[in-house]
Amino acid sequence: MTVRWIGSVSRLAAVCWLLLLVAWLAPGAVPTEELRARLKAAPVPLPEPVEVAAVAEPEPPPEPAKEPEPPQEPDPPPQPRPAEPEQAEPEAAAPVDAADLSLGEALLAGAGSFPALSASYEGLRSFAAYAASMHALGGRFVVVQRRAIVGEIDPISGSIREGSVGSRFSPRARDYSGEPALARASAQARARFGTDAVVMLLVPRNLDAGLFGGIARALAERGAAHREFRELVGHYERGPAGELRFRLETAVRRDGTRMALPLLFDLRAIARAGPAGPRA
């Protein structure tokens, strides 16, 4: 409405100026100087100032009321850090002293009075690892024919060297004729020395003496005698420092019943000992 009124006033002022111009140009019009004086003196109607009402901007919608935040629970107190379990100390092997070696020597001379030892090498990586460990302890794989040593076998290559290996070994040899890893060597031995040739492992005499004496003492401490048993069952394994150990598990009585006999022997320590006791 306000804009239309202002436009009408402007058109009216333009019409007035046009009429004055026509009158000035018409015949008999007022002289120029006089007309100029009149034009100067004639008031020009101006539109009165109109107050323009300010258009109120729409108010923003009220923000939705925020839900009250739940009260924060206090942080739980720090829990004490559980203590790390202590590492178990390495299991100690059964000690073998001079008395055990002396007892073992007597048992070796008893010609079969001590139970047979049955030990597997499943606790090691392979037969080759077991053979290398026994060789390092002084053991030898040999070919025996009619109770005589006629040759020595390299358990790694399978080659056979003829001849004896001496007499410093235990009379309790281990029969390895049925060992799959020595099947080829066994066949070569039979072809060379006869069908009755067998492959056996000889161990140093003091190694068996220490084992027999230590086991006999452990049985006596349990109120048993070695004569009551026919077989001792265990296995070979590695110690913390890589040493070869024999872990005895069970003693089999002559009637077939079994008795738990958990014993651990360090074969390297026993092999370094002699009848007079441990050597430096």
pLDDT for res 111: 65
pLDDT for res 46: 46
Report the half-sphere exposure of 6 (CA within 13 A, side-chain side): 8
Longest dimension (CA), the chain: 174
pLDDT for res 73: 62
Distance CA 67, CA 72 (A): 14
pLDDT band at 38 (very low <50, low <70, confident <90, very high): low
CB burial of residue 233 (10 Å; 0-12, 13-18, 19+): middle
Report the half-sphere exposure of 89 (CA within 13 A, side-chain side): 2
Stretch 185-212: mean pLDDT:
94
Distance CA 278, CA 280 (A): 7
Q: What is the pTM of this model?
A: 0.64
- Number of Cβ within a 10 Å radius of residue 192: 14
Q: Which residue has the higher pLDDT, 239 or 33?
A: 239
pLDDT at 42 over 60: no
Distance CA 93, CA 266 (A): 6
Q: Which of 35-39, 166-170, 250-254 has the lowest mean pLDDT?
A: 35-39
3-class DSSP state for residue 96?
coil
Select from 124, 160, 137, 169 the least CA-distant residue to 269.
Answer: 137
* pLDDT single digits (tens) 236-265: 999 999 999 999 999 999 999 999 999 999
pLDDT for res 122: 85
3-class DSSP state for residue 199?
strand
Select from 202, 205, 191, 207 the least CA-distant residue to 152.
Answer: 202
Q: Which residue has the higher pLDDT, 46 or 64?
A: 64
Q: Which residue has the higher pLDDT, 16 or 126?
A: 126
3-state SS string over 108-123? HCCCCCCCEEEEECCC
- Number of Cβ within a 10 Å radius of residue 109: 10
Phi-psi sector, 111: left (phi>0), alpha (psi -120 to 50), beta: left
Strand order in the sheet with 244-253: 116-120, 229-238, 244-253, 258-266
pLDDT band at 92 (very low <50, low <70, confident <90, very high): confident
Angle of helix 98-108 versus helix 205-221 axis, rounded to 10: 100
Q: Which residue has the higher pLDDT, 183 or 36?
A: 183
Helices (H), the chain: 2-25, 32-41, 98-108, 127-136, 183-193, 205-221, 267-271
Residue whose token pair is 């001079």: 98
